[in-house]
């Protein structure tokens, strides 16, 4: 049995009648940008997250960028970001004209380490951008407390943790504002690109609404230099269908994660992910560590098991940020993770039989069969 890393066809197969009905409804409406479907999804997703406002935008990167622009963060400013994250977190800061300032992760959770943040704060720091990496919320109480002491904004990168909870509250409602990605592989994924901003702040929500639409509230009357970043009607309609299944699908992911944890615990050389106290992980990714990661990945590939590495190159060592002049060793925790992490297959449509194939393949490589 071959086990794909993620089956993107299965969500449509499960929801075919509802997705097809949403498609037909949109096509029959004759309205394809910023119409009733987007407005309805914004209301429904805000209610789901527990925020007052949701603004649909083109993708997750633009969501984060527009939040920073809405706060007036730009040239000469600094934003604290994790050293261990997908590069989009950093790019959002750079696109706003500000400078990303990396801080190392907690080596247990892989999320931004609050104990390291204050040492990175300078008079130019304007915000902290924690990432809820792999589906686990960052330590938001500690991060928010630091932000309050220093008068900083907290912008959640919630690309990977739709539906997760931190001490009973959903991600997307834990900071001043949050950027969400609906890339197809996310826990709540569209059938194309899409994103959103969630916030309780009506002024920020309104600024993002203006910025996403060419800087305009009223057609052809442009108040500022804005962007074209709008969640289209078809994707909004599809997301409305999928949102009704999000908690159920996250529960399925958790069941697979539990199977992995129980069967692979104690396997020699394999470091398992850990769920932090007070966090409800939604397992966007199931990421293990192994000193011989490349060998393990090759073994799983030969066994028909799909894997990916999230992420093989830390942003500070990428060509995109070569002008920073940072060398290997600058952020050793992030670099160690890049050399050792491996994501096992994970998704709401993965079967227990497929999980058993993955487990057997991992154990056979490590000599634990």
Strands 78-82 and 125-128: parallel
Q: Given pLDDT bands bounded at 50, 70 and 90, which one contains residue 335? A: very high
Q: Which residues contact 246 (CB under 8 A, 6 or more apart)?
A: 48, 162, 163, 187, 188
Mean pLDDT along residues 8-20? 98
| Strand segments (E) across the chain | 53-57, 78-82, 99-103, 125-128, 153-157, 165-166, 169-170, 177-181, 195-199, 216-218, 221-222, 270-271, 279-280, 286-290, 341-344
pLDDT > 90? residue 367: no
CB atoms inside a 10 Å sphere around CB 110: 25
Give the position of tokens 């009223």. Answer: 218
Q: What is the mean predicted confidence (pLDDT) over 14-43?
A: 97
Spell out a b/e string for 87-101, using b for 16 or more CB atoms within 10 Å of the CB, else e.
Answer: bbbbbbbbbbebbbb
pLDDT, one tens digit per residue, over 166-192 is: 999 999 999 999 999 999 999 999 999
Are 101 and 65 a contacting pair, CB within 8 Å? no
Question: Counting beta carbons within 10 angstroms of the beta carbon of residue 39, is it exposed (0 to 12), middle (13 to 18) or buried (19 or more)?
Answer: middle
CA distances from 156 to 28, 146, 153, 288 (A): 37, 15, 10, 24
C-alpha distances (whole Å) from 318 to each of 86, 277, 285, 343 are 11, 33, 22, 20
Q: Are 307 and 343 in contact (CB under 8 A)?
A: yes
CB 363 within 8 A of CB 355: no
Widest pairwise Cα distance in the chain: 68
Q: Which single residue is written with the structure tokens 């959103």?
A: 196
Mean pLDDT score, 203-224: 97
Q: How far apart are the first and last CA of the chain?
A: 18
Element (H, E) at 253: helix 246-264
Query: Does residue 226 contact residue 211 with C-beta atoms inside 8 Å?
Result: yes
Beta pairing, strands 153-157 & 195-199: unpaired
**pLDDT tens readout for residues 283-318:** 999 999 999 999 999 999 999 999 999 999 999 999
- Mean pLDDT for 53-82 is 98
């Amino acid at each position: 049995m071959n086990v794909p890393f993620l089956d993107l066809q299965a969500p449509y197969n499960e929801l075919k009648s509802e997705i097809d009905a949403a498609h037909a409804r949109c096509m029959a409406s004759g309205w394809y940008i910023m119409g009733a479907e987007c407005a309805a999804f914004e209301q429904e997703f805000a209610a789901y997250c527990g925020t007052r406002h949701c603004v649909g935008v083109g993708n997750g990167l633009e969501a984060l960028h527009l939040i920073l622009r809405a706060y007036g963060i730009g040239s000469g400013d600094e934003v604290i970001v994790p050293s261990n994250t997908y590069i989009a977190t950093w790019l959002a800061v750079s696109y706003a004209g500000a400078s990303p300032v990396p801080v190392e992760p907690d080596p247990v959770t892989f999320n931004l380490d609050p104990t390291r943040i204050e040492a990175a704060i300078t008079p130019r720091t304007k915000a902290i951008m924690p990432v809820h990496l792999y589906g686990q919320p960052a330590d938001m109480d500690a991060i928010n407390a630091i932000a309050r002491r220093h008068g900083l904004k907290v912008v959640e990168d919630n690309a990977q943790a739709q539906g997760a909870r931190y001490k009973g509250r959903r991600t997307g409602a834990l900071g001043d504002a949050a950027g969400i990605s609906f890339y197809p592989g996310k826990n709540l994924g569209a059938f194309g690109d899409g994103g959103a901003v969630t916030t309780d702040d009506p002024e920020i929500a309104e600024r993002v609404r203006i910025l996403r639409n060419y800087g305009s509230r009223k057609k052809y009357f442009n108040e500022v230099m804005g962007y074209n970043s709008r969640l289209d009607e078809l994707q909004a309609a599809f997301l409305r269908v999928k949102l009704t299944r999000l908690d159920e699908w996250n529960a399925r992911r958790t069941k697979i994660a539990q199977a992995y944890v129980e069967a692979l615990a104690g396997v020699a050389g394999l470091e398992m992910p850990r769920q932090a106290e007070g966090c409800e992980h939604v397992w966007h990714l199931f990421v293990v560590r192994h000193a011989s990661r490349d060998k393990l990945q090759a073994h799983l590939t030969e066994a028909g098991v799909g894997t990916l590495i999230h992420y093989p190159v830390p942003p500070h060592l990428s060509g995109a940020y070569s002008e920073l002049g940072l060398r290997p060793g600058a952020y050793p925790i992030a670099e160690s993770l890049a050399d050792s992490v491996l994501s096992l297959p994970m998704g709401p449509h993965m079967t227990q039989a497929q999980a058993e194939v993955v487990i057997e393949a991992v154990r056979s490589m490590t000599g634990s069969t």
